Structure 1
């Protein structure tokens, strides 16, 4: 009997549920994916097809392969196994990515919870026991003996379902689905940015190590020169001022080392943190700038594909989508809501009699139409529309910022190549000039001050060349990062 009553109630509720799921259109606007950027280039006027060449390491000319796709592991273009290994470790161990993964998992479960609560009827079972005593006299019954206290046992099953006639629940699920997309793109953006940070830190570490090496080599050479100057002073060949000037130069070169070593320690500690490790217990590779390969063929995807490759743009699109769905939710709140409820059960004074059949059941429908809320619901809809307009503007701004970053990186690479060309020429001239000056000084052809000036020029020119080389590597990484390098779909 219980089964037949339950079947009967389900036969009445299920058609209504299906009607509620299928009937009506969702309120509010439908979200449409925005059009990609219309421009075919990133820079005004003629876009450069490549860069100039320079002497020495990192001076190869670069060619921009317009329309080519960016490799998912774009850092492999630098051809450094050590760099690849460090990035693999960072992508596996970074707490930043662990946090983003947890947020994505949370968003997915929020969607699952809301889907379970709105797409299907809610069924609950309950059992209760209540001790009661009736006062018949209070009910106006006086000719029947008053019964004693008794226990009422109740076992019941209740089913309820809110019909989604105007799509409020569907739009809410759509918004939560967009939130899942946002968290997914947020995770991808964190992954891509982490890889770029490791590359930039490795380049900076390599540059600092090279500059420290130059300073130490020059310090050693200046130390030998100081010894020669002291010998010549003892022999009466130079003045005490020459010895003091050489000593000053030694002190100036020594003063360069502590700031460079401090920066090297900081960037090494940062690499450890990127990998999710404590700085004190992590062995970080020593990167060599000359061992990094400058990518000569640089893929340059079109602006039209930028919006599909950059996860920050995709994330802004997902938030725009969510705002659109929220407009639909606010619009649906203006319309009636219909809820169907049904229950069946057994109420007995003997707990062993529940299996004898159902003796209590009910079916009910509830319609609720907002009439007066002081303008609250319409204000909420206007607020949702304003949030939608804001999200659209944020998306547009994100696209423009992405185009700007690519344009800036392209311009920087062109300038970097020219700068390195000039710095490399200057370093070579300074190196040759210092060699000539040193020989002339040893034979007494020039003054000690002239030799010191040649040494200063050599140190500064080497530092400038290294900085230009490092800038070229870093801006190449920045271009690949700005183009959406490292993109991969996350399930």
Structure 2
């Protein structure tokens, strides 16, 4: 009884040990008060909104919801989170006692415990039944530091999963808008082809009346064929975008129907960026890099703990008998309580090199964290300036399309009245077609800038967004 009390007192003293190595401190990352090109900086941010309040198109909402349920990259990320969680649990178990059992029965001549041993030629039985306990006393915090590191890696993996969600929402939205823009390009190409066909019909009727030449009809026919030739290529791109969207949503390549139009109602009009300090707390890749920095810091402590002695406690209790019939007698009782200590004396500089390696890994993680923050600031700034400039370009391009459309109408009237030649009509039409296509692409880029801003700010992975997605909005 005295031995057990002494063991309990020793355990209490040893459990009061400390964690060697540096304790983690939140990285002090210098960030500006506002984003570059954010003219109206405020605390509110578009990234605080769930994705269905940013993207208003019902079909797009359905596709995003489907992708969050079925996308293979996201499902892979979820399995990685579970793997990291189980690794953290394994490491944590090192700080707990390990309890095992064992036993055996043997019978033979000149044997003991199932192995050859001279017994004077006697035939005898052997039986053992033991319960053993092994425990490394984490006096210096080596196991606690390892557990801290693996827990941080688990949390980093979960942040990576969140980053996959943010990227997935952005990829689905971007691909969908690109698909709508291709639909618009096809519509423009068909309208241009029909417009050139009308000009050809007009020129041909005048040719039949003897007031025009074949050069007019030939030019109009060539322009019609050129416009028509763009349609198959656009249809090819449409099919590829549909396939891309299908794969993102976790299904076999196929058509995406029905779908909306590329208009001003598909995305939120209010797109405040918020504050950089909020972006750092929200963006998954920054939170991930911070957890990896925490893990690297804990690894330094684990490396330092290797300099200190390891203290272990072992115990067993059970029965051992040289005769099976005596196994239940009190004389067969067996127990033992022991402690052990071991530590390094000379290892050729291995422990010192391990500590230096851990400190260098921490420095690398710190630099990666700082770089991640800078990249995030740059992505937000790029998205802000892109949206501003594309909005300005769109206004000018819309004016150009409006003017060229009027020009085509006026030229057609002048030609019918005999006051203009065919060059005037064809030149106006040939100029209108690419101008309309350019306007469609500018509109797309304006919406993609919103997609990029929402993604760069870390929008889409709030607990509200994830839980609501699982419930089907």
Partner of 1:298, secondary structure, is coil
| CA distance in 2: counterparts of 1:72 and 1:353, whole angstroms | 75
Task: Tell me, yes or no, if structure 1 residue 26 matches structure 2 residue 19.
Answer: yes
C-alpha distance after superposition, 1:411-443 (max 9, x if no partner) = 111111111011111111111111111111222
| CA distance in 2: counterparts of 1:292 and 1:205, whole angstroms | 16
Cα pair distance change 1:405/1:427, threshold 3 Å: same
Partner residue, 2:95: 119
Partner residue, 1:76: 53
Does 29-38 or 85-94 show the bigger shift? 29-38
- Compute the displacement of 1:165 (Å): 1.1
Partner residue, 1:240: 214
Cα pair distance change 1:445/1:166, threshold 3 Å: same
Task: Tell me, yes or no, if structure 1 residue 184 matches structure 2 residue 178.
Answer: no
| CA distance in 1: counterparts of 2:194 and 2:375, whole angstroms | 48
Matching residue within 439, 462, 485 for 2:413: 439
Contact 1:108 1:180 in 2 (8 A): yes
- Pairs within 5 Å for 1:46-65: 47-49=38-40
Partner residue, 1:166: 140
Contact 2:46 2:454 in 1 (8 A): no
Cα pair distance change 1:135/1:308, threshold 3 Å: closer
* Structure 1: gaps spanning 5 or more residues: 1-6, 50-63, 137-141
Matching residue within 103, 110, 113 for 2:87: 110
Cα pair distance change 1:10/1:410, threshold 3 Å: farther
Matching residue within 113, 135, 154 for 2:128: 154
Partner residue, 2:471: none
C-alpha distance after superposition, 1:113-140 (max 9, x if no partner) = 2212x2211111101123454499xxxx
Cα pair distance change 1:352/1:208, threshold 3 Å: farther
* Structure 2: gaps spanning 5 or more residues: 113-117, 468-473
| CA distance in 2: counterparts of 1:135 and 1:172, whole angstroms | 45
Task: Tell me, yes or no, if structure 1 residue 335 matches structure 2 residue 329.
Answer: no
- Pairs within 5 Å for 1:23-422: 23=17, 25-43=18-36, 47-49=38-40, 66-68=43-45, 70-116=47-93, 118-134=94-110, 146-280=120-254, 283-290=256-263, 292-357=265-330, 358-422=332-396
Contact 1:17 1:161 in 2 (8 A): no
Cα pair distance change 1:248/1:66, threshold 3 Å: farther
Partner residue, 1:61: none
- Pairs within 5 Å for 1:8-23: 13-23=7-17
Contact 2:286 2:369 in 1 (8 A): yes
| CA distance in 1: counterparts of 2:43 and 2:399, whole angstroms | 30
Cα pair distance change 1:13/1:447, threshold 3 Å: farther
| CA distance in 2: counterparts of 1:470 and 1:308, whole angstroms | 30
| CA distance in 1: counterparts of 2:3 and 2:240, whole angstroms | 71
